[in-house]
Amino acid sequence: MEWLTAPFEVTFVQRALWGGILVSAICALAGTWVVLRGMAFLGDAMSHGLLPGVALAALLGGNLMVGAVASAAVMTAGVTALGRTPRLSQDTGIGLLFVGMLSLGVIIVSRSQSFAVDLTGFLFGDVLAVRQQDLLVLAAALLAALVVSVLGHRAFLALAFDERKAHTLGLRPRLAHAVLLGLLGLAIVASFHIVGTLLVLGLLIAPPAAALPWARSVRGVMALAALLGATATFGGLLLSWHLSTAAGATVAALAVSLFFLSHVLSGLRNRRARHAPAPAPVLEVN
């Protein structure tokens, strides 16, 4: 029992656990729509597109979160604008923005020889360095994500399954898409300093994808994804403590492992259901 509880008696591990739980909830709200709409590439592009703002903020001695928000706003505006170009596919526009923003970030980084450590933290995160004020920021981000998710749920739902019907119902799918991009940007900005941009998709994509075979509604997917993300956070921190591995990477790897386990179990369940004998007819006695 001590093996299970000892790491969480340390203050910075407790903060890391709470930070991971808050990030898991935020990512569940945004990641569910990412999975339903097949937007994983967009999530990856937006997470890496934060580099220019973060690098510039670090070089100027500013707040990294503010730089990340600025880059996320540029990426959101760019994806929205390019999505309205009739002769350019969305994947092409996202790919160009991805390469352009990443290149700009590398150029800014190359201007400083002292940014290597900060860049490593940006790419891989440091969940064990979560501070009290970080938890307050994450709590505020979760509240904002909840408000956006509740107010935009009907429009997001129509957009995910039938964009033409969303337009017919007057739900303004273009605006809904832009707001959804903003929600995705919020989740990524709130998460990047916890698990890093290279690993943020672990919590953004894996828990909702793992929840999908087991939940019967979008809200059910979100709730189960938040629970799976919190489980990956707890288990990842526990394994990291005892195995001396990178905490953020261990959390993300466990989240992805839960995804594969979920789909293996789902496949076994479906196979058993197909081979199960048909129930015997029930005779009603009047």
Tell me the residue length of the chain.
286
The CA distance from 27 to 35, in Å, is 11
Query: Pick from 154, 187, 185, 160: which is nearest to 46 by CA?
Result: 185
| pLDDT tens track for 97-117 | 888 888 888 788 777 655 554
Residue 278, in any domain of the structure: no
- pLDDT, residue 207, reads 95
CATH number at residue 73: 1.10.3470.10
Residue 211, in any domain of the structure: yes
Rg (CA), the chain: 21
Residue 91, in any domain of the structure: yes
Range of the domain at 77: 1-271
Residue type, 121: G
Query: Pick from 114, 137, 100: which is nearest to 55 by CA?
Result: 114
Residue 281, in any domain of the structure: no
The residue behind tokens 């087991």 is: 214
User: CB burial class (10 A; 0-12, 13-18, 19+) of residue 139?
Assistant: middle
Residue 283, in any domain of the structure: no
User: CB burial class (10 A; 0-12, 13-18, 19+) of residue 11?
Assistant: exposed
- pLDDT, residue 119, reads 61
What SS3 string covers 38-86? CCHHHHHHHHHCCHHHHHHHHHCCCCHHHHHHHHHHHHHHHHHHHCCCC
The residue behind tokens 């259901």 is: 273
Q: What is the DSSP letter of 281?
A: P
- pLDDT, residue 176, reads 82
The CA distance from 32 to 125, in Å, is 23
Residue 277, in any domain of the structure: no
Overall domain count for the chain: 1
Residue 139, in any domain of the structure: yes
Residue 280, in any domain of the structure: no
What is the full per-residue pLDDT of the chain (286 aa) written as tens digits? 778 888 888 999 999 999 999 999 999 999 999 898 888 778 878 887 888 888 888 778 777 778 888 888 888 888 777 767 766 677 777 788 888 888 888 788 777 655 554 566 666 677 888 888 889 989 999 999 999 999 988 888 887 776 676 667 666 777 888 888 889 888 888 887 776 776 677 889 999 999 999 998 999 999 999 999 999 999 999 999 999 988 888 888 999 999 999 999 998 888 888 776 655 454 444 4
- pLDDT, residue 170, reads 67
Instruction: Give CA separation, 218 vs 34, 42, 47, in Å.
Output: 12, 20, 24
Whole-prediction pTM:
0.84
- pLDDT, residue 225, reads 96
User: CB burial class (10 A; 0-12, 13-18, 19+) of residue 79?
Assistant: buried
